[in-house]
């Protein structure tokens, strides 16, 4: 395993680490963003073995970029040190499925590559450009001030890449874009001139659209009622995070299985699809309203990229919004992370 530590980072290889709620994606991207090596570990137990095995056969790396779901108030990627890591750990309660996994990835790399600088690239940072009226909850001011309650937004790395690529394909730099990241987690973003204007997720990644196992938006009064009815906080959190969404409606969180079951006449699956599409179209129209119109609609993520029937139905239902370009863009968070990692370290070297 070779490691190089000097020279202009923009000209060298970046190891991209994307630790999901259960999986680990690794990739080494060269200076021209060519993928030199890649591995997807389906079940990762936070041990260093898969990382060591991958790096043993991969090209030398000069820097490491991590996808981190929650960056709090950070507006850009940050070079990781003890202080930054401690700040990220304090945000764990806001993204309990993902934040501990990102921290485990950071720690694993620190053990295996102790001399290589690491950069945290935040999903929340892209949405730091949202205006106050889009981020502010109508809650008591003392609550908002004490706990910094606000809408953060997520999937920013994916939305940034997909929207930029869609604008390139449309040849319209001033286009008003609604980006649809549809996967196990799902969110929309309203984007104009590369800046996030609005999004569907909020204080946590639980808000917004119906997802694989997450509920999306739910009447807060209903949640209070469930607690008063005897549900514990742990039961409520587990149900909303792991047993809701498509899984709660149909018995499975995999859209492919839901669609197959619906085609076979399963009533629960048919309802799940109707709910999913209803909420999705409703939210796209809301994002268009935040932009004052829509010029480009882009789909990305596993469901967004591969479910043509879904895209066709959404397009038909949104015809009232007028003409728009529709694109499918492969999710490439790795490119976004590599680029931001190089930018941070080049800045550090020039400072």
| Average pLDDT across the chain, whole number | 94
Does residue 311 lie within any of the structural domains?
Answer: yes
Per the residue annotation, which of 123, 295, 307, 334 is the catalytic one? 123
Looking at the fold, whether 113 and 15 belong to one and the same domain comes out as yes
In this predicted structure, which of 57-71, 86-100, 261-275, 319-333 has the lowest mean pLDDT?
86-100
Residues 98, 23, 243, 258: is their CA dihedral positive or negative? positive
* Contact assessment for residue 50 and residue 132, using Cβ atoms and an 8 Å cutoff: no
My answer on whether 78 and 203 are in the same domain is no
**Residue position matching structure tokens 């991969």:** 58
- Classify residue 290 by its DSSP letter: H
Dist. CA 159–CA 325, nearest whole Å: 17
pLDDT, average across residues 309-336: 97
pLDDT of residue 7: 45
Which whole number is the average pLDDT over 277-301? Answer: 98
Residue 341 inside a domain? The answer is no
**Does a structural domain hold residue 167?**
no
Q: Residue 347: pLDDT above 80?
A: no
325: its two tokens:
């370009």
Distance CA 69, CA 92 (A): 10
Judged against a pLDDT cut of 80, whether residue 350 lies above it is answered with: no
Say which CATH number the domain at 242 has: 3.30.420.40
In whole angstroms, what is the distance from residue 159 CA to residue 128 CA?
13
Domain-embedded: residue 159: no
Which pLDDT tens digit goes with each residue over 48-64? Answer: 999 999 999 999 999 99
Q: What is the pLDDT of residues 2-35, one digit of tens each?
A: 333 334 555 689 999 999 878 899 999 999 999 9
State the pLDDT at residue 20: 84
What range defines the domain where residue 13 resides?
Answer: 9-122
Exposed, middle or buried, 37 (CB in 10 Å: 0-12/13-18/19+)?
middle
Q: Higher confidence at residue 315 or residue 7? A: 315
At which of 95, 122, 149 does a domain end? 122
Query: Which band of pLDDT confidence, cut at 50, 70 and 90, is reported for residue 68?
Result: very high
DSSP string, 223-273: HHHHHHTT--HHHHHHHHHHS-HHHHHHS---HHHHHHHHHTT-HHHHHHH
Give the pLDDT mean for 110-130.
97
Interval 152-169 mean pLDDT:
98
Look at residue 130 and tell me if it is in a domain.
no
Same structural domain, 118 and 176? no
Do 110 and 31 share a structural domain? yes
126 phi, psi to nearest 5 deg: -60, -30
Is the pLDDT assigned to residue 1 strictly greater than 80? no
Residues 107 and 240 grouped into a single domain: no
Structure confidence by residue, pLDDT tens digits, 169-217 = 999 999 999 999 999 999 999 999 999 999 999 999 999 999 999 999 9
Is 295 assigned a catalytic role? Answer: no
**Co-location of 324 and 176 in the same domain:** yes
DSSP 8-state assignment for residue 42: S
pLDDT at 47 over 90: yes
Give the pair of three-digit tokens for residue 218: 């739910």
- Report the number of distinct structural domains present in the chain: 2
Q: Is residue 134 in some structural domain?
A: no
**Structure confidence by residue, pLDDT tens digits, 78-113:** 999 999 999 999 999 988 888 999 999 999 999 999
Domain identity same for 320 and 180: yes
Residue 23's pLDDT is what?
87
Domain assignment present for 221: yes
CA angle 71, 75, 77 (to 5 degrees): 70
pLDDT tens-digit readout, 224-254: 999 999 999 999 999 999 999 999 999 999 9
Report the pLDDT value the prediction gives residue 8, as an integer from 0 to 100.
54
**Do 316 and 218 share a structural domain?**
yes
DSSP letter at 205 equals T
Sequence-distant (≥ 6) Cβ neighbours of residue 63 within 8 angstroms: 9, 12, 13, 14, 15, 116, 117, 118, 119, 341, 342, 345
Pairing of strands 35-41, 325-328: unpaired
């Amino acid at each position: 395993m070779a490691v190089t530590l000097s020279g202009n980072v923009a000209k060298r290889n970046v190891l991209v680490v994307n630790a999901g709620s259960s999986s680990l994606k690794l990739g080494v991207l060269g200076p021209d963003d060519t993928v030199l090596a890649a591995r997807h570990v389906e079940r990762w137990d936070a041990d260093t073995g898969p990382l060591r095995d991958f790096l043993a056969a991969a090209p030398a790396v000069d820097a490491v970029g991590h996808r981190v779901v929650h960056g709090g108030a950070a507006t850009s990627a940050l070079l990781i040190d003890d202080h930054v890591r401690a700040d990220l750990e304090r945000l764990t309660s806001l993204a309990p499925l993902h934040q501990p996994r990102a921290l485990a990835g950071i720690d694993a790399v620190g053990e295996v590559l102790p001399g290589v600088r690491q950069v945290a690239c935040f999903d929340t940072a892209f949405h730091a450009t949202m205006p106050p009226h889009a981020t502010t909850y109508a809650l008591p001011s003392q609550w908002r001030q004490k706990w910094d309650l606000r809408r953060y937004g997520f999937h920013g790395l994916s939305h940034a890449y997909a929207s930029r690529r869609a604008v390139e394909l449309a040849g319209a730099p001033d286009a008003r874009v609604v980006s649809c990241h549809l996967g196990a987690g799902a969110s929309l973003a309203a984007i104009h001139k590369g800046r996030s204007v609005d999004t569907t997720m909020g204080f946590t990644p639980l808000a917004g659209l119906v997802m694989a196992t997450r509920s999306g938006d739910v009447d807060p009064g209903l949640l209070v009622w469930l607690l008063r009815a005897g549900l514990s906080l742990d039961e409520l959190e587990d149900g909303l995070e792991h047993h809701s969404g498509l899984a709660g409606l149909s018995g499975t969180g995999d859209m492919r299985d839901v669609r197959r079951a619906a085609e076979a006449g399963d009533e629960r699956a048919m309802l799940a699809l109707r709910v999913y599409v209803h909420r999705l179209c409703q939210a796209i129209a809301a994002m268009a309203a935040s932009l004052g119109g829509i010029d480009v609609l882009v789909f990305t993520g596993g469901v967004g990229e591969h479910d043509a029937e879904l895209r066709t139905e959404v397009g038909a239902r949104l015809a009232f919004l007028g003409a728009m370009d529709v694109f499918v863009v492969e999710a490439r968070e790795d490119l976004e992370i590599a680029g931001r990692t190089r930018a941070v370290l080049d800045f550090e070297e020039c400072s």
